[in-house]
Structure 1
Amino acid sequence: MRKDAVHNRERLLRAARRLFADRGLDVPLDEIARSAGVSIGTLYNRFPTRDALVAAVFADRVASVAELAEQALAADDAWDGFVAFLTGASELQAADLGYNDLAARGAAAADRGPALMEEIIGRAQRSGDLRDDVTLADMAFVVWGMAATIRATAKVAPGVWRRHLALALDGLRADAARPLPVPPMTDEQIRAAMREC
């Protein structure tokens, strides 16, 4: 790319990061272009779709979550790794409403994200700390719950998500397990639910 094209791309990314972080993913693209000091045409030349812009803005966050997952798997204690992963991912969400929206939509994981999460779950189950009936599908509810709590409380009680997470973690412990009333959602049901979000 020419020097001015690179400069415009960086200005767009900075503006989108700032606006997404403050208000979430639904910021109008023309507002992002205006904030970056470029035309909407320039935005579309650099990022042909909203998804392309979102992917570029949050590539570093997605990579950070994958790194958190790897650290969780390397932790000496499986439960501590599980908790550290969920806490770290929630901290990233709480710091950026745009990333929080992305996580709520199930699009905040690296390509290996679901496989890494399954490894984290399996490891915590094998250690006897995580209830045996927790599935990857169940973890979607934890992410959705955290995302909704973060969005609802960001301006009035920004740290209350930690309480919500502690309550969720207590419910996930093997020693607190009670029979669940219905089976977990299927992959197809999860995809359908995410489309509705």
Structure 2
Amino acid sequence: MPKLWNETIEEHRSAVRDATLDATAALVAEHGLMSVTMSRIAQEAGIGRATLYKYFPDVESVLIAWHERQVIHHLEQLEAVRDRITDPGERLQAVLETYALISYERHGHHGADVAGLLHQGPVITQAHQRLLELVRNLVAEGAASGVLRADVAADELAAYCLHALGAAAGLPSKAAVRRLVEVTLAGLRPADRPSGDGTSATWDGAGHGDGHHPRHGSH
């Protein structure tokens, strides 16, 4: 088969797949995950049901593919944030805030059922490892430069960050999400780092000097 024909077929397949996943995203955003059906996906995408079934055997396979694409896109967002900033402390803060806001916004758009039904499979497992490595490397970089604590392993601190910021999904506002990020970052500060005037539980001064604990100060 000629190369150009092969490329044309592949482009067509890619276009159908993208249209299917775009339609799924629109339906989930508008009606919720549980309301998505093969008929509605085909109608939204502008393709026949028979064509859709050639690409996906059932609605669950469509939802998994859509979710995997979304997760990879979010990882690319985080890596782009990382690459824009050079200062180790600011870099980690920006990545963690972006991650927390993504968690918050996804929960608001899709509800808790996404996590329960779709956080599984090899692609999601690999994506989680990639995310963990991204944060671990930023933590290690911060510890090496002296802006983060070095008395706890970077792997442990990365896991702490991701578990702590998972709570962003249940928060009521972006302001609350940013406060959670501040509290999480306070746990990464070196114990002997100067605390400033002790009036703010932010990245630059978490209020250890007057006995004020950052968990309470950030709220």
Per the TM superposition, whether the score is higher than 0.5 is yes
Decide which of 96, 107, 113 is 1:86's aligned counterpart.
96
Decide which of 117, 121, 140 is 1:122's aligned counterpart.
140
Give the TM-score of the pair, scaled to structure 1: 0.62
Counterpart code for 1:71: R
Please tell me whether the aligned partners of residues 62 and 110 of structure 1 are also in contact (alpha carbons under 8 angstroms).
no
* 1:63-74 mapped onto 2 (5 Å cutoff): 63-72=76-85
Aligned sequence identity (%):
19
Residue 164 of structure 1 pairs with residue 180 of structure 2: yes
Give the TM-score of the pair, scaled to structure 2: 0.57
SS in 2 for 1:129: coil
RMSD over aligned CA atoms reads 3.9
Please tell me whether the aligned partners of residues 132 and 159 of structure 2 are also in contact (alpha carbons under 8 angstroms).
no
Shift of 1:118: 2.6
* 1:1-197 mapped onto 2 (5 Å cutoff): 1=9, 8-20=16-28, 27-28=33-34, 30-31=36-37, 34-37=40-43, 43=52, 45-47=54-56, 49=61, 50-72=63-85, 75=86, 77-97=87-107, 107=125, 109=127, 112-132=130-150, 133-150=152-169, 152-153=170-171, 156-175=172-191
Cα 1:45/1:59, change in 2 over 3 Å: farther
Please tell me whether the aligned partners of residues 131 and 175 of structure 1 are also in contact (alpha carbons under 8 angstroms).
yes
Unaligned runs of 5+ in 1: 178-197
Highest RCO, 1 vs 2 (Cα 8 Å, sep ≥ 6): 1
Unaligned runs of 5+ in 2: 1-8, 194-219
Cα 1:124/1:157, change in 2 over 3 Å: same
Larger radius of gyration: 2
Shift of 1:169: 0.8
Residue-pair matches, total: 168
SS in 1 for 2:149: coil
More off after superposition, 43-52 vs 114-123 = 43-52
